[in-house]
Structure 1
Amino acid sequence: MSESQLNRFSVISKVIDGHLTIADASVSLGISERQILRLKKGVILEGAAFLIHKNTNRKPKHALDNELVEKVISLKQSDLYNSANFVHFQELLERQESIKINYSALHSTLTQAGIKSPKKRRRFKPHRRRKRKSQAGLLVQMDATPFEWFGDFNKFALHGAIDDATGNIVGLYMTKNECLHGYWEVTRQVLFNHGIPVSLYTDRHAIFLSTNASKLTVEDQLAGRVVNDTQFGRAMNELGITLIPARSPQAKGRVERLWETLQSRLPVEFKIAGISTIDEANEFLTRYIPLFNASFSVEPDNAESAFRPLSPNLNPDTVLCVKLRRSVDAGGVFSFYNRHFKVITEPGLPLLPPKAKITVLVSPSLGIKVQFKNTLFDVLPYIKAKRITEPKTAANSLDKKHWQPPDSHYYKYGHNLMKKVTFEDSNSDILMMLESIFLKKYA
């Protein structure tokens, strides 16, 4: 018997012997006189055992089976699930192992086994929470985060976009580093899967906002001076999307908290699916987004979506690309990134006049196109004849070896991410040019 049960038996015994009144016993034990009479009767009939609760040392009916408890603990300690937090582990048990268990029971089981959740809880920090937008599509937050997604020491950048009103992920795409190509692939997912949002909330990265924007003084702004849009900003203007640059990470806290969640969950999901490359990850992310949204999305105040449908006349490939102005010569040849291309004119297409101002469109999915008066033209690489020059003698020339970058060099990754274009992809000069445009590191 416990100490409290022994104390209760001592008081009831004094009541039975007549050494203590029922009223005094009631005050001493803090229970009603009716309970004192019930306990007195029970002790007289059954003895001290009456004071022991009948469920003592009995396993509750709703308790987990010992075999199930051992299996859950074993799975959590395995290499596959050991890095999953408790909530994520509960979802994985139901999805992967067909084990449905209440979270409180799971938490008690694991903590009693000495297992702690890898999800660290930081101390509560009060802040003013901005109210969500009322409709889906009014505001989409976009960002990228570098992380060791595959459990090794290699970091890759995951680009993503989340709807402010619903908390739905509307786009995810992984590349080697944060780059224009990654953001455009996320934008492409948003456009095709949801439509055109009203506004985008981003940071002040050079991809979104020119570095010269911070150099404008008040006098410059009053004088009407502006800086040129970046290629991303120009594309958003063509789509009618308002680009809002945030001044702090806390301002776009929705997407910052998304990274915290994905950094906890995705490495476990990749390990379970056996994913270790960027291409496999991007294919997996298209299937993972609906699963994530089913667990974390919320209902907006207004069920009507603010996403605008894509116009049938709009080709996103002609918007999500780099656009630069050039001039053609009398033969339809123009120079671009120290290379020459010839515009292909076909029957039925307008002719390009000499010295015509054209717009060159470049992207991994579009290749290289030329736009003139809303008409697209294909191009071909053109090699101009070189002038014959006298060769240098060995006396006045240095024996220089051509330097070739190693396979680990930054500009050598990403070839397999680029789709086939209109000319031969084996042309190393063309590939180098595309990489210098889309896969470069921004300041």
Structure 2
Amino acid sequence: MSPEQLNRHSVLRKLIDGDLTLAQAASSLNLSKRQVIRLKKGFIKEGPGILVHKNSGRKPAHAFSEEFVATIISLKQSDLYRHANFLHFQELLLRQEQISISYSALHALLTKAKIQSPKKRRRFKPHRRRKRKLQEGLLIQMDATPFAWFGTEESYALHGAIDDATGKVVGLYLTKHECLMGYWEVIRQMGLQYGIPVSLYTDRHAIFLSTAAGRLSIEDQLAGKLINDTQFSRAMKELGVTIIPARSPQAKGRVERLWETLQSRLPVEFQIAGVSSIDQANEFLIQYIPLLNQRFAVEPGHAVSAFRPLAKEVDLDTVLCVKLTRSVDAGGVFSFYNRHFKVIATPSLPILPPKAKVSVLVSPRSGFVVQYKGTLYQALPYSKPVRQATVPPAAKQKTPWKPPDTHYHKYGHTLVNKVSFEDSDQDIIAMLESIFLSRYAEPAVTFSRDI
């Protein structure tokens, strides 16, 4: 018996023996007099067993069966659901296994089985929350995150955009590295599905903001000096979208929070769907975005959307591309990255005038085209004729010229009479001849101090 039951047994025994009054017994047990009388009658009739609750030792009617608990635990420990957090596992049970269970019951069941959620909980840090925008489409937060999405050691960059007012994901695209094409595909998904937003909230990556922007002084700004647009900022200007660069990751906290959610859920979803490549992942993400928004999106403060519908005359292929300016010559040929291309004119397209400024559009979707005053032209590689090199005549072999001995700069034995001294030493005569009558090529004579 429990301590409470032992206390009731002692009080009831004293009440029956006359040691306590009914009022004293009711006060001691903290029960009403009527309840004490009922307990007293039962104690006299049935004995101490009246103090034990009738449901003691009986399994509750709403309790899970042992088979059901074993099924839940085995599914959680399987390879498919092992890395899913408890909340995600609850959703997967309903979607994949048709098993409905509340989160609190699931949490208690798994915790009792000594199973912990793989999602780590960071210590709460108080911070000031920024209010959401009132209308959908007023502000879109955009970013990319590298992660091992396929359960391997290799990381891939997931590009994404989320609406600030509703928390609705408007685009997701996976590439090998963070790149311009990944962000353009996110813009394409958003433009076709929802429309063109008012502004984008991004970091200060070189894709969005030129690296020279931070080095522009106030004096340069007052003098009217401008920084060239990046290809992404140029495209957003054509669409009428304002780019707001953030100073810290916390400033665009909604998209940072989105990465935490997707890094916990997407690897499990990829494994269940058998996704193991970038192309398969991008096809899967198109179908997964509505499920994600159905689970996490909220209603905006104002029902009217700020997204602008994409105009019919706007071709995203001519906006979301690398666009560079070149000049064509009289034959419609221009140079591009050390190669020559010729603009192809057709009967329906006029011939470009000489020195016309054209825009060269390059993208994986549209390929390589030329735009002139809104008209698109095809361009083909062109090889300019190479001039035949003229072979120079064979050079004559030059022989070094040696002046003859009769040259006025030279002295020869035949031109100068022999020097003779009847009474002089022959050694002195030989020395004088070697000095004055020898050729320049011969080594000079070294005089000795003994002479």
Q: Are positions 1:236 and 2:236 aligned together?
A: yes
Query: Secondary structure of 1:83's match?
Result: coil
Query: Secondary structure of 1:211's match?
Result: coil
Counterparts in 2 of 1:263 and 1:388: CA distance versus 1, 3 Å: farther
Query: Secondary structure of 2:141's match?
Result: strand
Which letter maps to 1:357?
A: K
2:141 corresponds to: 141
1:227 corresponds to: 227
- Please, which runs of 5 or more residues in structure 1 have no aligned partner? 392-443
Farther off after superposition, 219-228 or 70-79: 219-228
Deviation of residue 10 (structure 1)?
1.4
Determine which structure has more spread, i.e. the larger CA radius of gyration.
Answer: 2
Q: Deviations over 1:141-164 (max 9, x none)?
A: 110000000001000000001111
- Please, which runs of 5 or more residues in structure 2 have no aligned partner? 392-451
Which letter maps to 1:54?
A: K
1:159 corresponds to: 159
Deviation of residue 384 (structure 1)?
2.7
Deviation of residue 40 (structure 1)?
2.0
Question: In structure 2, what is the Cα distance between the partners aligned to 1:138 and 1:306?
Answer: 6
Q: Deviations over 1:77-102 (max 9, x none)?
A: 00110100011001101111111111
Counterparts in 2 of 1:375 and 1:33: CA distance versus 1, 3 Å: same
Which letter maps to 2:48?
A: A
2:70 corresponds to: 70
Counterparts in 2 of 1:388 and 1:21: CA distance versus 1, 3 Å: farther
Deviation of residue 387 (structure 1)?
5.4
Q: Deviations over 1:406-427 (max 9, x none)?
A: xxxxxxxxxxxxxxxxxxxxxx
- Count of aligned positions: 391
Which letter maps to 1:313?
A: E
Farther off after superposition, 190-199 or 379-388: 379-388
Deviation of residue 56 (structure 1)?
1.2
Q: Are positions 1:186 and 2:222 aligned together?
A: no
1:93 corresponds to: 93
Deviation of residue 30 (structure 1)?
3.3
Deviation of residue 348 (structure 1)?
2.3
1:347 corresponds to: 347
Q: Deviations over 1:213-238 (max 9, x none)?
A: 11111222222222111110010010
2:121 corresponds to: 121
Question: In structure 2, what is the Cα distance between the partners aligned to 1:55 and 1:352?
Answer: 94
1:417 corresponds to: none
Q: Deviations over 1:116-142 (max 9, x none)?
A: 111111111111111111111111111
Which letter maps to 1:109?
A: L
2:248 corresponds to: 248
Q: Deviations over 1:312-357 (max 9, x none)?
A: 1110110001111111112111111112111111112222111111
Question: In structure 2, what is the Cα distance between the partners aligned to 1:60 and 1:261?
Answer: 37
2:379 corresponds to: 379
Deviation of residue 386 (structure 1)?
4.2
**% identical aligned pairs:** 70
1:9 corresponds to: 9
Farther off after superposition, 189-198 or 43-52: 43-52
Q: Deviations over 1:342-377 (max 9, x none)?
A: 111111222211111111111110111111112111
Q: Are positions 1:213 and 2:223 aligned together?
A: no
Question: In structure 2, what is the Cα distance between the partners aligned to 1:120 and 1:105?
Answer: 20
Query: Secondary structure of 1:358's match?
Result: strand
Counterparts in 2 of 1:386 and 1:17: CA distance versus 1, 3 Å: farther
TM-score by length of 1: 0.85
Question: In structure 2, what is the Cα distance between the partners aligned to 1:339 and 1:352?
Answer: 19
Which letter maps to 2:26?
A: S
Which letter maps to 1:294?
A: Q
1:440 corresponds to: none
Farther off after superposition, 267-276 or 375-384: 375-384
1:176 corresponds to: 176
2:442 corresponds to: none
Q: Are positions 1:47 and 2:44 aligned together?
A: no
Q: Deviations over 1:262-317 (max 9, x none)?
A: 00000000000111100000010001001111111111111221111111111011
Which letter maps to 1:165?
A: A
Question: In structure 2, what is the Cα distance between the partners aligned to 1:302 and 1:23?
Answer: 65
Query: Secondary structure of 1:287's match?
Result: helix
2:25 corresponds to: 25
Which letter maps to 2:234?
A: R
Question: In structure 1, what is the Cα distance between the partners aligned to 2:203 and 2:23?
Answer: 74
1:61 corresponds to: 61
Query: Secondary structure of 2:212's match?
Result: helix
Deviation of residue 23 (structure 1)?
3.2
Deviation of residue 191 (structure 1)?
0.5
TM-score by length of 2: 0.84
Farther off after superposition, 52-61 or 144-153: 52-61
1:405 corresponds to: none
Q: Are positions 1:268 and 2:268 aligned together?
A: yes
Q: Deviations over 1:380-409 (max 9, x none)?
A: 112234456799xxxxxxxxxxxxxxxxxx
Question: In structure 1, what is the Cα distance between the partners aligned to 2:11 and 2:221?
Answer: 88
Question: In structure 2, what is the Cα distance between the partners aligned to 1:230 and 1:31?
Answer: 80
Which letter maps to 1:100?
A: S
Which letter maps to 2:124?
A: F
